[in-house]
Chain A
Amino acid sequence: MLKQIEGSKAVAEAIALCRPEVICAYPISPQTHIVEALGEMVKAGDLTPCEFINVESEFAAMSVAIGSSAAGARSYTATASQGLLFMVEAVYNAAGLGLPIVMTVANRAIGAPINIWNDHSDSLSQRDSGWMQLFAETNQEAVDLHIQAFKLAEELSMPIMVCMDGFILTHAFERVDIPTQEQVDGYLPPFDPRQMLDPAEPVSIGAMVGPEAFMEVKYLAHAKQMQALELIPQLAAEFKQQFGRDSGGLVRTYRADDAETMIVAMGSVLGTVKDTVDELREQGHKIGVLGIISYRPFPLKEVRAALVNCKRFVVLEKSLAVGMGGIVATDVRMAVSGTGLKGYTAIAGLGGRNITKASLHKLFLEAEQEQLPPVTFVDLDWDVVNKQLEREKQNRHSGPIAENILYDKGMSSSAKFG
């Protein structure tokens, strides 16, 4: 059914359609509306049987999900940013135990400095945790990916994060087609766990594993993700059959056929990128887009196939590997290794900074002319950066960095407006 609906609410409705049995809720912006909506459904008796548990921390949220999933209940939680980091030990544990928990990550920056707005630093920090990560471009895709995620996770007995841009998607009202219960039931079978705590058949889960077997267990987690590379397109195809629309898959290209310059990105920024590319195409530029939906597992083969015919590519990413450059870019460069393709990394939108068409226009044209440095920080205020660097050079006791930057920003804007 078509609805004009907030992204979080749409996702909550999709989760409810997946018949979760245990939901762990802890508030952190910008995912909070999702668990709030689910809590209301459980309290009203619209989502039953389901246990909605208000936990005392994200660490507990993931831990409760570990317990409920191991005991055979379909388990869900949502988090973001500091919350994801607070639960990290349990995040790795859930993957290590092979528990098919589904978690929404409403992507948000990581402090310090504290910042509630969107970038991809949170879930990308968990890229090696053993969780799969799918990135939604739109709220429709966020809804659809969650439905696919339960099936994928339970098929492989591995956990999965569905990542959607905080605020940009979670708080945006747009048209979303919410499937019917019959459609979802037809697609997603009841949870049939591979392992379960059951007094009728006692097993030990979580034993100490020494050097004699640890590598094999870890390799199997990798092997599962390699299986996911096969399974994700298959589930997307089945999804199309059941729901009648394309959603999910590993990667998606746009106007890429004859493109000489390719822009690689993940999440909602793909919308702005496509709009910019449309305008550049009208001006005759041979430019296309590669959207990555599955970040973990990373589809090396598909990324390579999508880029191999271009001359250069820009990885536009909302994340920063401090001391190195791009995070996604590293994976993309691995995918095209040996091709001799020219690759650029553009770090943009950290902490929710707007990524505008004007900035992308300039960036893409510079890339086309191969005038970009290997790593570009889009719309960085160099004046403020240099001022702070100079301050540190001049004064051993230069004080807290973020507060200095804010002060300088305030001075420049008051100069502008005052």
Chain B
Amino acid sequence: MSFQPVKFYQTGTYTVGNRLLAPDARSVQAGELRSNSINSGHRACQGCGEALGARYAIDAAMAESNNQLIAVNATGCLEVFSTPYPESSWQVPWIHSLFGNAPAVATGVAAAMKVKGKNNVRVVAQGGDGGTTDIGFGCLSGMFERNDDVLYICYDNEAYMNTGVQRSSATPPTARTATTMPVGPEPGNVFGQGKNVPEIAMAHGIPYVATATVADLRDLEYKVRKAMKMHGARYIQIFVPCPLGWGSASHDTIRLARLAKETGMFPVFEAEHGEVTGVLKIRNKQPIEDYLKPQKRFAHLFGKHAHPEMVAHLQAIADRNIRKYGLLDEEKAHG
């Protein structure tokens, strides 16, 4: 899977650059020629996982396309915090149309490039989980099944953060949101709902589907660059913690992203034409509590009125992910 010449155990954003490596072994983000596709000065919250994810992803896409890139953005945090005009953070041609139509707008841009013979210009569409898994899902599925030449990136922070933290179909069970309040006998979001869009994307048989987190920069960059080498519909879902919506410390964004992967809550894998071709193995499996406890959205599961049965249920979900995707090496799984 992703190639990492030196195995850093990254502990925070300070080390992701790997600036100590030889220039050709550096990540895009650590390279001197990185495009700074989203410039500083935007209005994202401190510790915003989405800003980080978008910066990593679009810089990698820029590098792979030789800066011949057009970005389409769904309505959402990323759109709002990046373009309070006359300020714009975007160093790429960028268009925002609506909440639910980014995949279709991207299809249109790609069609225009094709008809104009600008085959070197590539198209990326991006949105949050609400814009992707809910309101934009029809357009996303249409873009997938037509196999339009678009890389769609979903920045998944598991709720509608821009409107004030409401539940989306990517919100995990038990999580507190403004529309799944931590009250009643089964507080927070319910079990048995939600959709797994990476798997639904795979069911379309599109050339490439991958998941990634902002904790694994090299893996993220590798997947974006790999996707950009391909044509047709491609989908990457990037796990991006949201300090505001999750009630987590802004310095914990990378840690939580890593814990989501290390617990098995967010399986990190890639798939081609509907078949899983690689997974990012768990290095050091962690109990689900370690992931849940630093987040206030899960606070009602612990403490005086704890819900150990719900925590156990979440652990079972993580364990099923581990089994299903083979996230643990054999000896670790049994040892």
* Residues on A facing B (Cβ under 8 Å): 21-22, 24, 49-51, 53-57, 59-60, 63-73, 75, 89-90, 93, 97, 197-199, 201-210, 213
Work out how many contacts link A and B, with CB atoms closer than 8 A: 159
Instruction: Find out whether the CB atom of B84 lies under 8 angstroms from the CB atom of A56.
Output: no
28 A–B pairs (Cβ distance < 8 Å), ordered by A: A21-B115, A55-B142, A63-B107, A63-B139, A64-B105, A64-B111, A65-B108, A66-B101, A66-B108, A68-B112, A73-B111, A73-B116, A75-B108, A89-B100, A90-B98, A97-B97, A197-B70, A199-B92, A203-B93, A204-B94, A206-B79, A206-B94, A206-B96, A207-B83, A207-B88, A208-B79, A209-B85, A213-B85
B322 lies within 8 A of chain A by Cβ:
no
- Which one of A68, A197, A201, A205 contacts B111 once the chains associate, using CB atoms below 8 Å? A68
B97 and A206 contacting across the interface, CB-CB below 8 Å:
yes
In the complex, the chain B residue whose C-beta lies closest to that of A69 is B108
Most buried by A among B70, B90, B105, B114: B105
Tell whether A22 pairs with B70 under 8 Å between CB atoms, given A60-B101, A67-B104, A67-B109: no
| Inter-chain contacts of B92 with A (CB < 8 A) | 199, 202
- A65, A198, A204, A206 interface centre (most CB from chain B within 10 Å): A204
Which residue on chain B has the smallest CB distance to residue A96? B97
What CA separation (Å) do A49 and B104 show in the bound complex?
Answer: 20
Question: Are B138 and A59 in contact (CB-based, < 8 A)?
Answer: yes
Report the Cα distance A51→B110, complex, angstroms. 10
User: What is the size category of the interface that chain B forms with chain A?
Assistant: 35 or more
- CB <8 Å contact, B95 and A67: yes
**B315 to chain A: closest CB distance in Å?**
39
List the interface of chain B (C-beta within 8 A of A): 67-70, 72-73, 79-80, 83-85, 88, 90-98, 100-101, 104-117, 121, 138-139, 141-142, 145-146
Q: Are A51 and B88 in contact (CB under 8 A)?
A: no
Which B residues are in CB contact (< 8 Å) with A213? 85
Query: Of all chain B residues, which has the CB nearest A195?
Result: B95
A68→B93 contact, CB < 8 A: no
Checking B69, B101, B117 against A90 with a beta-carbon cut-off of 8 angstroms, the contacting residue is: B101
In whole angstroms, what is the CA distance A56 to B204 when docked? 14
* Complex alpha-carbon distance, A53 and B90, angstroms: 29
CB atoms of B108 and A56 under 8 A apart: no
**Is the pair B69, A207 in contact by a Cβ cutoff of 8 Å?**
no
> In the complex the two chains form, what is the Cα distance from A64 to B125 in whole Å?
13
Do B111 and A22 have beta carbons less than 8 Å apart?
yes
Which residue of A has the minimal Cβ distance to B105?
A: A67
Q: How far is the CA of A268 from the CA of B85 in the complex (A)?
A: 46
Q: Which of A63, A202, A204 is B105 in contact with, Cβ under 8 Å? A: A63
Task: List 10 additional A-B contacts (Cβ < 8 Å) besides A51-B112, A57-B142, A71-B109.
Answer: A21-B112, A59-B104, A63-B97, A68-B111, A70-B109, A71-B70, A72-B116, A89-B101, A201-B93, A206-B79
Picked from A70, A199, A203, the residue with its CB within 8 Å of the CB of B68 is: A199
How far, in angstroms, from A63 to B88 measured CA to CA in the complex?
23
Scoring B67, B94, B112, B142 by chain A CB atoms within 10 A of each residue's CB, the highest score goes to: B112
Contacts of B84 in A (CB 8 A): 207-208, 210
Could you say which residues of chain B place their CB within 8 Å of the CB of A67? 72, 95, 97, 104-112
Are B116 and A59 neighbours in the complex by a CB distance under 8 Å? no
In whole angstroms, what is the CA distance A364 to B145 when docked?
A: 55
**Cβ–Cβ contact B94 & A22, under 8 A:** no
- Given contacts A67-B108, A75-B108, A207-B83, A93 and B90 within 8 Å (CB-CB): no
Q: In the bound complex, what is the Cα–Cα distance between A66 and B74 (angstroms)?
A: 13
Residue of B nearest to A20 (CB): B115
Across the interface, B138 reaches (CB within 8 A) one of A53, A60, A69, A198, namely A60
Q: Which residues of A contact B70 (CB under 8 A)?
A: 71, 197, 199
Provide the residues of chain A in CB contact with B142, threshold 8 Å: 55-57, 60
The 6 closest A-B pairs by CB, nearest first: A67-B108, A56-B142, A71-B112, A63-B104, A206-B96, A63-B101
Task: Give the Cβ gap from B229 to chain A, nearest Cβ, in Å.
Answer: 18
CB-nearest residue of chain A relative to B81?
A208
Do A53 and B107 form a contact, CB below 8 Å, given A71-B112, A197-B70, A204-B85?
Answer: yes
B83 contact set on A, CB distance < 8 A: 204, 206-208
Question: Which of chain B's residues have a CB closer than 8 A to the CB of A59?
Answer: 100-101, 104, 138-139
Residues of B within 8 A of A90 (CB): 97-98, 101
Residues of A near B138 (CB, < 8 A) are: 56-57, 59-60
Give CA–CA (A199, B117) in the complex, Å.
Answer: 14
If A21-B112, A22-B111, A51-B114 touch, whether A93 touches B97 (CB-CB below 8 Å) is: yes
| A63 engages B116 (CB within 8 Å) | no
Task: Tell me which residues across on chain A come within 8 A of B117, comparing CB atoms.
Answer: 49
A159 vs chain B, min Cβ distance (A): 13
Q: Which of chain A's residues have a CB closer than 8 A to the CB of B109? A: 67-68, 70-71, 197
C-alpha spacing A204/B96, complex, angstroms: 8
A197 and B97: CB pair below 8 A? Answer: no
Q: Which residues of B contact A66 (CB under 8 A)?
A: 97, 101, 105, 108
Give the distance in Å from the alpha carbon of A51 to the alpha carbon of B138 in the complex: 21
Partner of A70, one of B73, B95, B114, B139: B95
Nearest CB in chain A: distance from B178 CB, A:
22
Give the shortest distance, in Å, between A398 (CB) and chain B (any CB): 36
Are the C-beta atoms of A53 and B96 separated by less than 8 Å? no
Nearest-Cβ distance from residue A49 to partner chain B, whole angstroms: 5
Are A202 and B115 neighbours in the complex by a CB distance under 8 Å?
Answer: no
Assembly CA distance A277 to B93 (angstroms): 57
- Most B CB contacts (10 A, CB to CB) among A49, A57, A65, A71 go to A71
In the bound complex, residues from chain A placing their C-beta under 8 Å from that of B69 are 199
User: What residues of B have a CB within 8 angstroms of the CB of A57 in the complex?
Assistant: 138-139, 142
Contact B95 A206 (CB under 8 A): yes
CA distance A49 to B117 in the complex (A): 9
Bound-state Cα–Cα, A207 to B81, Å: 10
Question: CB-CB < 8 A to A207: which residues of B?
Answer: 83-85, 88, 96
Q: Provide the residues of chain B in CB contact with A75, threshold 8 Å.
A: 108, 112
Give the complex CA separation of A157 and B141 in angstroms: 31
- Assembly CA distance A213 to B84 (angstroms): 12
Distance between B204 CB and nearest chain A CB, rounded to angstroms = 12
Q: Which residues of B contact A49 (CB under 8 A)?
A: 115, 117
